[in-house]
Amino acid sequence: MEQELIFLDRNEFNYSPSEEVIQALKDFDIKKLCFYTRIYDEGKKSIFSVFLSELYGVDESQVLLGYGGEDILKQSVHYFLTQADGNKTMLIPKFSWWYYKSIADEVEGRTLQYPLYEAGNTFKYDIAAIKEMVENERPKILLLASPNNPTGNGLTPEELDELLSFVPKETIVLIDEAYASFVTEDNSYISKLVNKYDNLIISRTLSKFYGLPGLRMGFGFISKGLEKFIRYSNKYLGYNRLSEDIAIAALKSDAHYREVARMMNESRKMYEEEIGALPGFKVYDSVANFILIKYPIELKPALQAAFAEENYKVKFMNEPDINTHLRITLGRPEQNRIVADTIKRIARQ
């Protein structure tokens, strides 16, 4: 029998969904699919947006829903880079998800990279450099990723506030927080920021922390000053009613996913202690569901062959200045053990 291929290259979820999620699927009333939601008769978009409004303390009108966080990002970039002012410039992190540039390219956007710098076992945003680029380029969009993929570093609420304070109102600040739930349970900063600034969009998803990438349910929060985009983004006839029920069940079972995150943290420490001790290797701090490892580039062919032999896929980075790095999704403990042992075996040959 052919061995199952283990994907640890896509930052997916290798654990089980919560019992609440499983039960929500079992209990779903199939007749709901025969009718549109009626909640828009109350001036609201979804039972999920109402739930998010109460959970995050943000007015329901300022909650965005999308087909995954990807949809919210794409909507935002396409909408704002095609405005009548003709400003098609977007700033993105130097080391970041390739998709950001791709969606800007789709509308002939001009994408510029601002620097991240390496500091010890982490990467950091160069806030002074971002400020200078914003002043010089006057971009339509400043995109921030916190935590950032693939570097694993994030921005504190205080740093986000500092960044927003010097960005002109004409520039939209788009924050991709796909991995943010791994950082903290305190989401109170979101309502403070979207109500303090008129040019902010925060995008989140159920794909990472809540382990439901196949559900394709994203959500976000937006400043009141962006009503035109809110109307553009809203779906008049509502959203997937099955996804709504499952999404609410996932957020209600936060404790289950906190326990998964705790196990991931144990594996993260294992990587830091065991792989970080190998000559030529460096394990970076991460506040997401993956870890970035620098390795001796001459080991790349042997590592690739060894992972293929184990039927494991990890991400060998190819981008300039980070092409000597591996990004590894934090899977189950036994999966992480196999990955670490494979790396050690090749490193010690």
Determine the CATH number of domain 19-252: 3.40.640.10
Cα–Cα distance for residue pair 345/335, rounded to 1 Å: 15
Q: What is the pLDDT of residue 2?
A: 56
Residue intervals of the chain classified under CATH 3.90.1150.10 are 6-15+255-347
CA distances from 301 to 150, 170, 338, 347 (A): 21, 48, 18, 12
Task: Of 236, 250, 254, give the one whose Cα is nearest residue 46.
Answer: 236
Q: Are 222 and 184 in contact (CB under 8 A)?
A: no
Cα–Cα distance for residue pair 12/335, rounded to 1 Å: 13
Q: Where are the alpha helices (DSSP H) in the chain?
A: 19-27, 47-56, 69-80, 99-105, 127-137, 157-166, 188-196, 227-233, 241-252, 254-270, 300-310, 333-347
User: How far is C-alpha 182 from the geometric centre of its chain's CA atoms?
Assistant: 10
Q: What is the pLDDT of residue 127?
A: 95
Residue intervals of the chain classified under CATH 3.40.640.10 are 19-252
Q: Are 29 and 346 in contact (CB under 8 A)?
A: no
Could you please state the CATH topology (level 3) that the domain comprising 6-15+255-347 is classified under: Aspartate Aminotransferase, domain 1 (3.90.1150)
**Dihedral sign of CA atoms 118, 120, 124, 126 in order:** negative
Q: What is the pLDDT of residue 1?
A: 46
The residue count of the chain comes to: 349
Cα–Cα distance for residue pair 2/5, rounded to 1 Å: 9
Residues of the chain with pLDDT under 70: 1-2
Q: What is the pLDDT of residue 230?
A: 95
Exposed / middle / buried, residue 250 (Cβ in 10 Å: 0-12, 13-18, 19+): buried
Q: Are 74 and 232 in contact (CB under 8 A)?
A: no
Cα–Cα distance for residue pair 143/105, rounded to 1 Å: 15
pLDDT in tens, 2-57: 578 999 999 999 999 999 999 999 999 999 999 999 898 898 999 999 999 999 99
pLDDT in tens, 192-231: 999 999 999 999 999 999 999 999 999 999 999 999 999 9
Strand ranges of the sheet holding 290-294, from the earlier edge strand across to the other edge:
6-8, 312-316, 325-329, 290-294, 282-283
**Tally of CA atoms within 13 A in the half-sphere of 254 that contains its CB:** 8
Q: What is the pLDDT of residue 3?
A: 73
**Dihedral sign of CA atoms 120, 324, 104, 9 in order:** negative
Q: What is the pLDDT of residue 74?
A: 98
Q: Amino acid letter at 59?
A: D
Own/partner contacts of 313-321, CB < 8 Å, gap of 24 or more, are 313/5, 313/6, 313/7, 313/8, 313/9, 314/8, 314/9, 314/339, 315/9, 315/10, 315/150, 317/150, 319/95, 321/94, 321/95
